[in-house]
Structure 1
Amino acid sequence: MPERPQALFAMTPENVPRVFPPRVLARLRESVDIDPARVVRDFADPALRDVLARTEILVTGWGCPRLDGAALDAAPGLRAVLHSAGSVKGFVTPEVWRRGIAVSSAAAANAVPVAEYTLAMILLAGKDVLGARDRLRTGRVFPGWEIVPGIGNHGRRVGVVGASRIGRRLLQLLRPFDLRPSLTDPYVDEASAAALGVPLLSLDDLLRGSDIVTLHAPATPRTRRLIGRRELALMPDGAVLINTARGHLVDHEALIAELRTGRLTAVLDVTDPEPLPPDSPLYDLPNAFVTPHLAGSQGNEVSRLGSVVAQEAARLVAGEPPAHGVDPAVLEREA
């Protein structure tokens, strides 16, 4: 059997057994020589000098230290970074690309639960489940069965902001339902939108014509406060805003002011700041449904991320390129 390349974990140590439970770890170790008890928290740690010098593959995750020039000098044989989470923006530096190191990410796998969460919230919001639950909890009076005008998911218009991995996955999940999705994205043309099965609209037209607007754009200087006072005013009465992307896409002061009128509803899994201060009105407004950044991989879902890394390691050892390679040319505009 050929010698397996040396690999090393670089992430928060307690997440190693969560992302790589025994079955997934065994698959990874079929391809690489890696010790789950040896985890990098600091690339300058003298205790790791020898193993870093031999490392060809870094298996990274949440909490990975920054891969700057000094870190890369400590691992001169490094040829690949396999990230067992979403974005690599927080720790991959331009020096990684300059040295020709391949980078792979499990972002596509992490997109699955976020899209599922969003689908669930779209369907619940369309039935006014969140508002009805709050009214029932407050009034303690069952209203009796009745057909309530204005709710339901038959033909409800869903505007998707951003054809990111999550946005595209969501569009796939929406297909079996009697919903009317549309898309806005400055990097998508009409032919590409048609291939996704949706009309391409400007942001303003999408906001005006959607009952539910869900945000899946990346966090960049251009998208900061993408949804502000003017944009919120474009949304029709009774519309719902869902944000599972990044908190800074929304002007929270403007959103709170709009929510206080009772005209809109918001479902926020991400906020700005995060976490919210204890006195934030978003905790108490009846038309704000806030969850603690849990749409991404949780519990048994995180092993899916480890499985992607195990697959990528097998490809590298077989001489194949990563299936989920990160392209530095588009990294800035990826979610």
Structure 2
Amino acid sequence: MDASLVEEVFPPQVRARMEQTAEVWPAGVLEDFDSPDAVDALRTAEVLVTGWGCPPLDAAVLGRAPRLRAVLHAAGTVKTFLSPGVFERGIAVSSAAEANAVPVAEFTLAAIVLGAKRALPLARLYGRRRTQRTAADLARPAWMGAHGLTVGLVGASRTGRRVAELLRTLDVEVLFYDPYTAEADIQALGARQVDLDTLVATSDVVSVHAPATAETRHLIDAHRLELMRPGTLVVNTARGSLVDTEALTAHLVSGRLDAVLDVTDPEPLPPDHPLWDLPNVWLTPHLAGALGNESARLGALVVDELERFAAGEPLRHPVLWPDWDRTA
């Protein structure tokens, strides 16, 4: 992994737990798999602990790691570096995506509350005019505030489910669209399952939480943006490719919709893109996921998995090959 992140992800108390469970390679952190140190380490390694910045774990690397039995990833997706050969070898894989979902869900809840309050455009007006202003200054809000809203969540992912749990603190109705999740599971979250067109047409807030796959590219497309009612707030803390940026831009420039976008497609947007300057758009630099002191959750989850693996117990957060095509 990127060596600069190690102390955040594995602070002393988490690192100490790891060293109680495993013999940790003493020479530091590998940032590639081709150096003499890496070749030496791989020769005897039974477990790889990986993170952001991990280089490809391909057939050539696996060939130099004959004893490897587990890859424990201290971040979200493993698709950026893991080859199918890992699963063909029967190597166990785990991800800290569950831990990363916590700050993403918290950020999403904040985005929904602040976006529903039209806080960003009003703050910009306030800063420009330096006098007290009210919602009337916006001239066009279809609604304002979270009370009584319908919030539509696209994807019952780890983050989507946690957002639904957090939304129980608000007086809102929650809708879900997820073709892979049973109605009973959605109801257990205090929500109602609907088709995607119904969700976007009846929600005051549409928040996107699906994985980025070929199937979900532009899931929120021009047609579904047209179905949204004036004043709808679009929140994307998942992946930029889930939303058709060009189609969304037209609705945001006209003022018909509002948006909080932690991710875009492309990312970042070109410097001259109109979304940078729109008062009804809040762009943030892909910061919803674990950062700073939040990162220790990732390391703690990985050490939990390491302890289970060492004890011969099943991993609690496995990444499974049958789910590969529909997971983040």
What is the TM-score with the length of structure 1 in the denominator?
Answer: 0.93
Structure 1: which amino acid aligns with 2:21?
A: S
Q: Deviations over 1:17-55 (max 9, x none)?
A: 121111111111111111464222222222332221110
2:169 corresponds to which of 172, 176, 185? 176
Give how far 1:317 is off: 1.1
Distance (whole Å) between structure 2 residues aligned to residue 154 and residue 117 of structure 1: 19
Distance (whole Å) between structure 2 residues aligned to residue 269 and residue 49 of structure 1: 38
Correspondence for 1:73: 63
| Contact preservation (8 Å) 2:175, 2:192 | yes
Q: Extract structure 1 runs of 4+ deviating beyond 3 A.
A: none
Give how far 1:107 is off: 0.4
Structure 1: which amino acid aligns with 2:163?
A: L
Correspondence for 2:267: 274
Distance (whole Å) between structure 2 residues aligned to residue 257 and residue 187 of structure 1: 31
Q: Deviations over 1:80-133 (max 9, x none)?
A: 001000011111111000000000110000000000000011111122212211
Correspondence for 2:319: 326
Determine whether 1:28 maps to 2:18.
yes
Runs of 5+ unmatched residues, structure 2: none
Give how far 1:286 is off: 1.0
Correspondence for 2:117: 127
| Contact preservation (8 Å) 1:49, 1:74 | yes
Secondary structure at the aligned position of 2:215 is classed as helix
The 5-angstrom pairing of residues 149-164 of structure 1 reads 150-164=143-157
Distance (whole Å) between structure 2 residues aligned to residue 126 and residue 288 of structure 1: 12
Q: Indicate the larger mover: 274-283 or 77-86.
A: 274-283
CA 259–189 in structure 1, closer or farther in 2 if over 3 Å, else same: same
Distance (whole Å) between structure 2 residues aligned to residue 89 and residue 34 of structure 1: 25
Q: Deviations over 1:153-182 (max 9, x none)?
A: 211110000000100111111112111110
Correspondence for 1:217: 210
The 5-angstrom pairing of residues 221-300 of structure 1 reads 221-300=214-293
Distance (whole Å) between structure 2 residues aligned to residue 76 and residue 212 of structure 1: 50
Correspondence for 2:52: 62
Percentage of identical aligned residues: 53
Structure 1: which amino acid aligns with 2:293?
A: N
Secondary structure at the aligned position of 1:330 is classed as helix
Distance (whole Å) between structure 2 residues aligned to residue 270 and residue 145 of structure 1: 27
Q: Deviations over 1:56-80 (max 9, x none)?
A: 0000000111111110111100000
Q: Indicate the larger mover: 204-213 or 191-200.
A: 191-200
| Contact preservation (8 Å) 1:53, 1:75 | yes
Correspondence for 2:199: 206
Distance (whole Å) between structure 2 residues aligned to residue 24 and residue 120 of structure 1: 29
Give how far 1:245 is off: 0.7
Structure 2: which amino acid aligns with 1:22?
A: P
Correspondence for 1:7: none
Distance (whole Å) between structure 2 residues aligned to residue 16 and residue 207 of structure 1: 41
| Contact preservation (8 Å) 2:42, 2:65 | yes
Runs of 5+ unmatched residues, structure 1: 1-10
Correspondence for 1:138: 128
CA 268–33 in structure 1, closer or farther in 2 if over 3 Å, else same: same
Determine whether 1:197 maps to 2:187.
no
What is the TM-score with the length of structure 2 in the denominator?
Answer: 0.95
RMSD: 1.7
Distance (whole Å) between structure 2 residues aligned to residue 192 and residue 330 of structure 1: 18
